[in-house]
Structure 1
Amino acid sequence: LVTAMMSDDVQEGIDFLPLTCDYLEKAYAAGRVPGGFFRREIGRPSEKETLTSRFIDRPLRPLFPKGLINEIQIIATVLSGDLENDPDVVALNGAAAALEISDIPFHGPVAAVRVGKIDGQLVVNPTNSQLKESTLNLIVAGAPQGLVMVEAGAQMVQEDEVLEALFFAQEQIQPILALISRMREEIGLPKRLEAEPPDYGDLPQRIEALARERIIEAVRHPEKLARRHGMDEVKKEVLAALGEEAEGQEKLVGKLFKEAQKRVVRQMVVREQRRIDGRSFSDIRPITCEIGMLSRTHGSAVFTRGETQSLAVATLGTPSDEQKIETLVGETFKSFMLHYNFPPYSVGETRMLRGPGRREIGHGALAERAISPALPSAEEFPYTIRIVSEILSSNGSSSMATGCGASLSLM
């Protein structure tokens, strides 16, 4: 069951799409009674539910109209599961169909398939049993105009194999797209009118003219903090130059300044073939690797790329330390865990410390998927392994730094 709802009122004062996607697995869907004292689904979502919620969000979010700020909520609930077919791709296709037949403005359709490779043959939507024998686990979401999301795990496959699987997935998506389009034509509701973009006159052009040269100067700073302070100064100069016209409209000027900054930086990247810190497309940031940083741990490493730094710590445990996970198929055990922590100081901010959010769970799972195929089997190495990545500083690619730091800590 997948539902899509949009509020009647806009969320004033925000500059992003307030979209929430929630994927829920009910124990009754597999004929099971939930564990725990209360015997019901309570508390925070499982890791599987969180990752699938993110997986539904990613291909849908870019297809909503720009400027839409009504709150939108998509809830996918697993009502019945045969334990062989993972509901995640079904949930995404259901969300796409729900949006298409609803009155919510949406530039779809979009659809997804999972692709495996078993005995050298590509298989669309393999079962859980088949995936155990598959060298590839590729999820592809696409729209009529092309692919919009790719997520994959593999057992050392070649690039041409992945490319072949992408083209195969694109073919398999077409019938689902056609079906969703037909649903829209036959039972779809009239779409709500999209809000007309506001007319700011020549204010955007004047802001860009005032700020262009100073924006280019500010973004060339190699350090993130210097760039941020430089951009803040440029914004103050623009507000001062506009004078009384900007009074009471500081938020609007800030929004238009941000849009001007994006246009200027994009033009600079396209025309000069250089990134914001002055590097060319082929230049990588300085990399340093240090190991054995912590004396008491089983393994530790600090991986630094530019201003992004990860402290990765590896811990070995016995089989009794495996993580027990309650899923639709029953209890399973996990002997390798990779946890990613992104504290506020890593980006020079302050905020309340709480449990891991969706982003932290997602980034940890990404790095875990990358490391897992390189680990020895349980027969060769019957230990539980836990790696924790503490992001000490972040200026992009912290999940990749986590994968590199995790590798170093294991070695």
Structure 2
Amino acid sequence: MTNPIVKKIELSDGRVITIETGKLAKQADGSVTVRMNNTVLLATVCAAKDATPGVDFMPLQVEYREKFASFGRFPGGFLKREGRPSDYEILISRLVDRALRPLFPDDYHAEVFVNIILFSSDGEDMPDALAGLAASAALAVSDIPFNGPISEVRVARIDGEFVINPTFKQLENADIDIIVGATVDNILMVEGEMSEVSEAEMLEAIKFAHEEIKRQCRVLMELSECCGKTVKREYCHEENDEELRKAVWDRCYQKAYDVARSQNPNKHERTEAFEAILEEFLESIPEDEREEKAPLVKRYYFEVEKEAMRRCILDEGKRLDGR
């Protein structure tokens, strides 16, 4: 017998978003169904227990699919199966990816797959606005390390009034149409279009969206507590040498900063200058240890180079190519 956990979010116009977990896709690390009226999304997330050897990035994959059956249809003609994702589905997948990816720990490198499927559509409510909420909810009820939650909402300005997650019909009369992704504290992503509006009006729309996102994130925190998933799994995907890291920073940072500060407009010469700093440090390592330590040195030097360029731009207003 299943005992699903249900949380509800009421929008300002009276519509209710229902989040339910514990009933479907129970073999996934996390799964939820998100419903608004007759629009239903199923979001699942699965993660490998360990990282693939040699992987030093975040192998995250997000897929958003709208099934033909969600609108009472099925593929016809020569092909009787669902085809490749449409451009629209790919764009929604990217919107979700852009909000989720920065919030995974920097040293977490296990493969993560987020799958969002539209199971039912009533043709009125827009399902893409719920995709980010569904993905974040699936992560919230899992034990996958994630510095969330996040949520995404669509904001439209219709007849001078801001509306959260407007219907298809309402959106026809909007002069602002944006999707905003954020955590409780920070804006992560903004995507959309506007009809000649001022910056002040755009900022007002983003602030309006953020207030709604804050409410939704608090509901996701409550959902995570109800599921007992506030403590995430332990992992160790990186082996670090703190003494080596300190040596790289101490001996390379100022040199990298000087190269960034020189504002050489020739990209190839700049690249060679940065590489020369790395090669110089590698040459200082005993030959019998060099091959073993080279991957760590390159990773630490990448951090040094990135920070040097960043500080040069923020502190002195100097970009690499002199612009």
Deviation at 1:194, TM superposition (A): 4.5
Q: Does 1:211 align with 2:252?
A: yes
8 Å CA contact retained: 1:246, 1:253: no
Q: TM-score, normalised by structure 1?
A: 0.64
Q: Which of the residues 227, 241, 248 maps onto 2:270?
A: 227
Deviation at 1:266, TM superposition (A): 2.4
* Residue pairs, 1:82-101, within 5 angstroms: 82-101=122-141
Deviation at 1:36, TM superposition (A): 4.2
Cα gap change, 1:192/1:124 in structure 2, threshold over 3 Å: closer, same or farther? Answer: same
Comparing 3-12 with 70-79, greater Cα deviation is found at 3-12
Q: Does 1:135 align with 2:179?
A: no
8 Å CA contact retained: 1:23, 1:52: yes
Q: Which of the residues 273, 279, 293 maps onto 1:249?
A: 293
Letter in structure 2 aligned against 1:191: K
Deviation at 1:198, TM superposition (A): 4.3
Aligned to 1:389: none
Q: Does 1:239 align with 2:282?
A: yes
* Separation of aligned partners in 1, 2:316 and 2:195: 39
Q: Which runs of 4+ in 1 moved over 4 A?
A: 196-199
* Separation of aligned partners in 1, 2:198 and 2:170: 20
Deviation at 1:238, TM superposition (A): 1.4
Identical-residue share of aligned pairs (%):
37
Q: Does 1:187 align with 2:198?
A: no
Q: Which of the residues 22, 33, 52 maps onto 1:11?
A: 52
Deviation at 1:137, TM superposition (A): 0.5
Comparing 243-252 with 12-21, greater Cα deviation is found at 243-252
8 Å CA contact retained: 2:240, 2:296: no
Deviation per CA, 1:351-406: give whole Å up to 9, x if none.
xxxxxxxxxxxxxxxxxxxxxxxxxxxxxxxxxxxxxxxxxxxxxxxxxxxxxxxx
Comparing 74-83 with 237-246, greater Cα deviation is found at 237-246
Q: Does 1:172 align with 2:216?
A: no
* Separation of aligned partners in 2, 1:249 and 1:154: 51
Aligned to 2:43: 2
Aligned to 1:116: 156
* Separation of aligned partners in 2, 1:217 and 1:179: 48
8 Å CA contact retained: 2:312, 2:318: yes
Deviation at 1:253, TM superposition (A): 1.2
Give the RMSD, CA atoms, in angstroms: 1.8
* Residue pairs, 1:257-268, within 5 angstroms: 257-268=301-312
Deviation per CA, 1:210-253: give whole Å up to 9, x if none.
32343234433213222222222222111112233423222111
* Separation of aligned partners in 1, 2:228 and 2:92: 26
Q: Which of the residues 269, 272, 277 maps onto 2:316?
A: 272
Deviation per CA, 1:100-121: give whole Å up to 9, x if none.
1101011111111111011111
Deviation per CA, 1:161-189: give whole Å up to 9, x if none.
11111111112222211211111010143
Q: Which runs of 5+ in 1 are unaligned?
A: 280-411
Cα gap change, 1:83/1:188 in structure 2, threshold over 3 Å: closer, same or farther? Answer: farther
Aligned to 1:295: none
* Separation of aligned partners in 2, 1:232 and 1:174: 44
* Separation of aligned partners in 2, 1:48 and 1:36: 22
Q: Which of the residues 197, 210, 213 maps onto 1:157?
A: 197
* Separation of aligned partners in 1, 2:76 and 2:173: 30
Cα gap change, 1:214/1:175 in structure 2, threshold over 3 Å: closer, same or farther? Answer: closer
8 Å CA contact retained: 1:65, 1:194: no
Q: Does 1:39 align with 2:39?
A: no
* Separation of aligned partners in 2, 1:34 and 1:136: 34
SS at match of 2:196: coil
8 Å CA contact retained: 1:110, 1:143: yes
Deviation at 1:197, TM superposition (A): 6.5
Letter in structure 1 aligned against 2:234: L
8 Å CA contact retained: 1:22, 1:53: yes
* Residue pairs, 1:337-376, within 5 angstroms: none
8 Å CA contact retained: 2:126, 2:166: no
* Separation of aligned partners in 1, 2:116 and 2:270: 41
* Separation of aligned partners in 2, 1:268 and 1:242: 28
Q: TM-score, normalised by structure 2?
A: 0.81
Deviation at 1:146, TM superposition (A): 2.1
8 Å CA contact retained: 2:151, 2:181: yes
* Separation of aligned partners in 1, 2:292 and 2:241: 15
Q: Which runs of 5+ in 2 are unaligned?
A: 1-41
8 Å CA contact retained: 1:59, 1:141: yes
Aligned to 2:243: 202
* Separation of aligned partners in 1, 2:90 and 2:269: 35
* Separation of aligned partners in 1, 2:307 and 2:204: 35
Letter in structure 2 aligned against 1:227: R
